[in-house]
Amino acid sequence: MPEFLHNIIYGDVTWMNLITAAVILFLAMILSKVLSLHLRRSLKDKMVKENLELMAKVVTYGILIIAFVWVLPTLGLELSGLMVAGGIFGLAIGFASQSIIGNLISGLFLMGERPVKLGDFIEVSGNMGVVEDIQIISTTVRTLDGPTIRIPNEMVFTSSITNYTSIPIRRFEYEIGISYADDAELAIQIIRDIIKEHPMALLNPAPQVYVDGLGDNSVDIIVRIWSPSSAWFPVKMELLWKMKRAIEAAGIEIPFPQRVVWQGDKGEES
């Protein structure tokens, strides 16, 4: 064994100790990667994705923390000494890393309480998108137009979160105006038939179709439809146009805004 390995770098720590610590940390990193990868592969079809991701992260961070604590004495850092040092530096570190610690603690609460899960479609702090990753410090959301947004966990945890996929179904609504001269009951029946034909327009809760108002330009029919959360947007996109075409095919007019102007007779004026 080369002699220099026993040379002291600082305190009682030699090059040998340093290399041993580095090797242990390196092996721990590899082990954590291999184990989390193995977990992801072997339990992919058997566990819900977000639970699997959480488990993989716990395994990864757990191994790294154990390895880190293990090598501390090798590097001449006794845990008891660290606790004393912690007392001295804690305050300074606390001030310096206030936001990081806040995000970290919020991250732990997020993973524990799980108001959002991977794949959920959420709106938080004005950002709407699909949750792609929940890390210990931040949450990544992919917005509808593509880019990802990294939101600090503290912001996620302290903001009001709208989770659109936490329930199995979701409702959407249309307002369709028809001419006063046309038969609203016929229009309602046409709309109901179209809803009935669509597989993803749920039978229960039943759709609602009714005259909701007598507007300035039209008789307003409200249409409320429930659909599976995973399919609601394609259904919403598809049905309105079908309704429009079917209503017009039945000779029912969907009127433009209009104003009737009566012009006085010139003869009467004079």
Partner 1 sequence: MVKNDNGSGVDAGTDVTWSFSDEAGAGVPWGPHELPLSLELEGVSIKVDGAKGRYAYRREGAGDSIGKQILAENSKIKLSPAEPLNKPSPVCANLLIELSSPAVIQPKSAQTLYLAFPVEIAVLLEHGRSEDYLLDIFSLVKAKYTLYGGVKEGMVCRHWASEVYTEIPNLNPLEQGVLKLTVSNLGNRWAELNKAVFSAYGMKLFYGPGIVSLTAEIKIINETFAETSFKEGPLQDGMARGTELYSAKPLSQQGKIVMEEGY
Under the criterion CB under 8 A, does residue 231 sit at the interface with partner 1? yes
Q: How do beta strands 148-152 and 138-143 pair?
A: antiparallel
* Alpha-carbon gap, residue 117 to 166, rounded angstroms: 9
- Touching partner 1, residues 152-181 (CB under 8 A): 167-169
- Touching partner 1, residues 59-118 (CB under 8 A): none
Under the criterion CB under 8 A, does residue 45 sit at the interface with partner 1? yes
Query: How far is residue 236 from each of residues 174, 200, 242, measured CA to CA in Å?
Result: 9, 10, 11
- In the list 54, 71, 190, 202, the residue contacting partner 1 (rule: CB under 8 A) is 202
Under the criterion CB under 8 A, does residue 190 sit at the interface with partner 1? no
Q: For residue 168, say if its preceding peptide bond is cis, omega within 30 degrees of 0.
A: no
* Alpha-carbon gap, residue 191 to 243, rounded angstroms: 6
Under the criterion CB under 8 A, does residue 137 sit at the interface with partner 1? no
- In the list 11, 205, 213, 215, the residue contacting partner 1 (rule: CB under 8 A) is 205
Query: First CA to last CA across the chain, in angstroms?
Result: 123
Other C-beta atoms lying within 10 Å of the C-beta of residue 153: 23
* Alpha-carbon gap, residue 9 to 237, rounded angstroms: 69
Under the criterion CB under 8 A, does residue 56 sit at the interface with partner 1? no
Residues in the interface with partner 1 (CB under 8 A) total 18
Looking at the Cβ atoms of 35 and 231, the one nearer to partner 1 is 231
Looking at the Cβ atoms of 44 and 244, the one nearer to partner 1 is 44
Residues that bind partner 1 (CB under 8 A): 45-48, 167-169, 197, 199-200, 202-205, 226, 228, 230-231
